[in-house]
A and B are shown apart, each in its own frame.
Chain A
């Protein structure tokens, strides 16, 4: 069965520091993978997606993610975090039609 695990519930980084949010998936075939961001009181906004091809995917707001089949991972990265990046981040995978979301990682940014 499909599943997504986000091991870190909370992460705190200083503004300007680099960021990596972890996501591990379980799926038999090549998964479709997504990262969404949710700011307080808002819906989910798609940051980036992986379907096939180049394993390093660029997204909006300076985010990127790397698909590593050998590690069943799709970690989200940003080289320099801004205070406005404070939000909750969700990794998701989809099969034929259904999304499975991780439990989310809440990012706090220190000034």
Chain B
């Protein structure tokens, strides 16, 4: 079974530029998550999709961050314009939720973003 795929793995941009991250979840997983992990901290949920609908985006800075999951499969997370404090690892995860509780989340390798 293929895991969660993310690209790019690394990205360096200047502040005020825009950037986009891509995620392909495990086949058949209805739920997809984007997390932000700042150095030295645990992952923080930015947005959760169930199929192509948003379940939770309460911690997404909507003035600069946007995300979509077209056709309920792949997802993109965009930052525009980027700020220095956006430097972090962006993790994508997927799970079979709501098919059966409890459930596990499977994580991709992450994209390390550096904003200079």
Contacts and interface: CB of A to CB of B under 8 A. Distances in A.
Contacts of B91: 43-44
B42 A101 contact: yes
Interface residues of B, number: 28
Given A43-B4, A94-B102, A101 B43 contact: yes
Interface residues of A, number: 22
B107 A43 contact: yes
Interface in A78-98: 90, 92, 94, 96-98
Q: Which 3 A-B pairs have the closest CB atoms?
A: A101-B42, A43-B107, A32-B102
Given A34-B104, A44-B107, A103-B42, 15 more contacts: A32-B101, A36-B107, A43-B4, A43-B91, A43-B107, A43-B109, A43-B110, A44-B43, A49-B104, A51-B102, A98-B45, A98-B56, A99-B33, A103-B41, A104-B40
Interface of B: 4, 6, 31, 33, 40-45, 48, 55-56, 91, 93, 97-98, 101-110, 112
